[in-house]
Structures are given as C-alpha cells and as structure tokens.
Amino acid sequence: MDFIVAAIIFSGVIAVIAASNGKTMSAWTAAARVLGLTFVKKNALSSPRLVGTIDGMNVVVSVRSANNSKSTRYQIEYESLGIGVQIVRKRGLAVLTTFLGAQDAVTGDAAFDELVVIRTNAPDQLPAILTSRGREAITDLMVEYPTAKVTNEDIIFERKGIERDSSRLVRTVQALVTTAKAITGVSSASHAGPESYDMPAPVETPTMPMPAPATAQETPETAGYGVSPDMETSSSIDDSMLTYDSSLTSMTSPSSTADTLGPSVIDQPAVAPLSTGPDPISLGTEMFGGKLLSFEAATTFDQAYSGKKIRWEGTVSKRSDMDTWVDVGSIDTTLYGPISIVAIVSTPVSAKPDDRVVVEGTLVSVDTFERTFAIDGTIRRAGS
C-alpha cells in the first residue's frame, strides 16, 4: 500500500514538472518569435535563454540561480557611453547611502536627480551624456521597473521566479531596449512598442520528453516551481527557435561528482597543491577588469576557457545545501574598486566559512553580473 501511495505521489510530481516545463517552453519560444530572438535550451534539465540583437542592442534573457531561488534576468547591452556610470532608483539602502554622501553626481534635472542614485568617475561629463531624452526614458524605466540598473554599457533587470508569461517577457525586453536606444541616441527603429505587437494564437504545446527522476547529482531546473494560475500558457512554437547550442553559457547544473564528496572527504587534510590551469587573478582581470563588455567576456570565456581544468586554493565565503562559494583572489577595478573573484562549486561539503580549501575541476561558465565562475568539480581542505 505504501508503495502505491508513493508511486501516485511521484507521478503527480512528474506531472506538475511536465506542465511547468511545457508552459515555460511555450512562453519563451513565443516571445522569441515575436522579438526576433533565438530560443536556446541545451537539454531537458537546462534553463531557457533568449539571445540575439534588437536595433543594434545585444539582448540576453536568462534564468539566474542564487541562494536557492531563481529569477528571470534581462540584459540589454550597447556601445559604451565612454565614462563609468551606474544609475539605480533611490529605494531602501540607496536612500540611506545618498543621505550619507554616496551620490557622486547630479545632472541638474531636479526631478531626475531626486529619483535616482548616480555613481560615476566623470561627473562633469554626465549632463552631456545623459540627454533630456535619456533622462525621461530612465525615469519611465525606474517607475515601471524599480530594481533596474543602468550602467555605461548595459541595462539589467531581474524579476523573481522563472517567467512563464510570454507577453510580459516581450514587454519587458521592449521597455529595456527602448530605454537603451534613448540613452545611446539611437532613433526609433522597426521593432514594435510594448502595446503594438500581436502574440501568437494559442496552439497545443508539444509534449517534451521527461528526464529520469532527479537524483542527488541532477535536479531539474524547474524543480520546486509549481504552476502559477495567472501565467499565460499558450503560444505556437517555431522549431527554428529550438536551438540547442552547446557553445553558449548556461546555468550550471549540479556536479555529477557530488556523490564522491561529503564531510568524510573534506575533513581529510591534504597538502595544498599549487594552482594549475588558468590563474584566477589573471582570468578575473580579463573577465571583470573593465576592458570587455559583458557579452564579450562571456564569448571570450566560452571560446578560450570553458572546459579548462583548474586547481585553485581559496577561502570559503558561504555555502548552501548544494553550492559552495570560494573566494580565490581579488582585483582592483577603476569603476567598482576592489572586487573578489569567486568560484562556485555545486557539491555538498561540510566546509564552513573561512575554511581554506582547494577547488579542483572544470570551468563551466562565467557570471559577469555577479563576477563568479561556476566549477564542475570537488572541494577538499587545504593542507598545511
């Protein structure tokens, strides 16, 4: 009897995951077709991505995992404005930091300066860079998307959860692209505005093959996400959008070697070897030092470093049930000041913050927003 009950529960979980995957696939492929982007999904367990160019702007929509939660991340990249600048809305901590003197510059537009916090390395050039059209667009963006961030080379916005509403995916991308065009002075182009597009007519979503039941090594990207009743679920799928491109960076899946690790392994002292493979400081400087745009850094990583073997020594900064963050060095940057280089290893270990450890494995991906490297490998305590 217990076995039958367990089988029924398991079947129900599989059905929920299948429905959730189907809605996500439907929404993202529909949005890709409307926006003229490419839908990318490496395999059944990987997160979806939208990539491409709209009116000369590089567009990436992806799913980001952090602290046991997921969010949909939108990034619009454009040609650098020529100065270092970061603009966020005054809210919460930003209001306090402004009061304490963190506001580097103002534009002279009282309403705009009251709405946002501006940090820049060239305050005297800011009024010329941020035209009235750009300020109006940023104001509209910050009102509609309060957590958006505008920099000298991109606009980034994150929304909690995996987006399953195709129309909201489209509207968000278009709003961010419209703002980017205003900031950079690009004239209105061929893409429709947020209210002028037609979403595809509903069709039956194809049944996607389900993977084997999740184990300690493999957890479906959508595990733990139920079906939201207010999300749109229907759209047609263009097979040309279903591009499984292994050259693109994707979210890191838990390491397949996780079962070889655990408290009994990490507690065994070992002599710490010298670093091998790409040096973490040199790699961090190349990826995050400011010479490359975010998409250029991601492309460079995929072409030159993805799959490389590494052995780095560092200090554990934090850990979750499946991931361990290890600080492997720090660099000084012109715009952001000192930043830590962090390796994230998806493997359960008993390491505690401040423990010295050795990370050994394969470089998988780079997160240019969080400035981290995902490693498929193992962690053990550094020896004396």
Q: Tell me: the pLDDT tens digits for 216-234?
A: 444 444 333 333 334 333 3
What pLDDT, on a 0 to 100 scale, did the predictor assign at position 271? Answer: 41
For range 356-380, the mean pLDDT: 86
Range of the domain at 339: 258-381
What pLDDT, on a 0 to 100 scale, did the predictor assign at position 300? Answer: 87
Domain count across the chain: 1
Report which of residues 2 and 65 the model is more confident about. Answer: 65
Residue at 103 is within a domain: no
Order of strands, edge to edge, in the sheet holding 85-89?
38-40, 49-54, 57-66, 69-77, 154-160, 149-151, 85-89, 116-120
Report which of residues 4 and 105 the model is more confident about. Answer: 105
- pLDDT bucket at 103, cuts 50 / 70 / 90: low
Give the tens place of pLDDT for each residue, 132-184.
Answer: 999 999 999 999 999 999 999 999 999 999 998 888 899 999 999 999 999 99
Best CA proximity match to 99, nearest among 117, 124, 121:
117
What pLDDT, on a 0 to 100 scale, did the predictor assign at position 313? Answer: 92
What pLDDT, on a 0 to 100 scale, did the predictor assign at position 289? Answer: 83
Residue at 358 is within a domain: yes
- pLDDT bucket at 19, cuts 50 / 70 / 90: very low
Tell me: pLDDT of 312 over 90: yes
Residue at 217 is within a domain: no
Best CA proximity match to 214, nearest among 250, 249, 245, 256:
256
Contacts of 10 (CB under 8 A, 6+ apart): 213
- pLDDT bucket at 244, cuts 50 / 70 / 90: very low
pTM of the model: 0.47
Tell me: pLDDT of 338 over 60: yes
Percent of the chain at pLDDT > 70 equals 66
**C-alpha to C-alpha distance for 138 and 131, rounded to whole angstroms:** 11
For range 106-128, the mean pLDDT: 89
What pLDDT, on a 0 to 100 scale, did the predictor assign at position 187? Answer: 58
Residue at 142 is within a domain: no
Tell me: pLDDT of 320 over 50: yes
What pLDDT, on a 0 to 100 scale, did the predictor assign at position 10? Answer: 52
Give the tens place of pLDDT for each residue, 282-292.
Answer: 998 888 887 77
- pLDDT bucket at 249, cuts 50 / 70 / 90: very low
Residue at 294 is within a domain: yes
Domain containing residue 292: CATH number: 2.40.50
What pLDDT, on a 0 to 100 scale, did the predictor assign at position 319? Answer: 82
- Summary mean pLDDT of the chain: 73
Distance of CA 12 to the CA centre of its chain: 30
Report which of residues 57 and 236 the model is more confident about. Answer: 57
What pLDDT, on a 0 to 100 scale, did the predictor assign at position 47? Answer: 85
What pLDDT, on a 0 to 100 scale, did the predictor assign at position 8? Answer: 55
Give the tens place of pLDDT for each residue, 47-85.
Answer: 899 999 998 999 999 998 877 788 999 999 999 998 889
Residue at 333 is within a domain: yes
Residue at 332 is within a domain: yes
Percent of the chain at pLDDT > 90 equals 27
Tell me: pLDDT of 237 over 70: no
Residue at 121 is within a domain: no
**C-alpha to C-alpha distance for 324 and 379, rounded to whole angstroms:** 9
Give the tens place of pLDDT for each residue, 200-217.
Answer: 444 444 444 444 444 444
Tell me: pLDDT of 274 over 60: no
Best CA proximity match to 159, nearest among 150, 175, 146:
146
The Cβ of residue 235 has, within 10 Å, a number of other Cβ atoms equal to 25
What pLDDT, on a 0 to 100 scale, did the predictor assign at position 5? Answer: 54
What pLDDT, on a 0 to 100 scale, did the predictor assign at position 298? Answer: 81
What pLDDT, on a 0 to 100 scale, did the predictor assign at position 34? Answer: 87
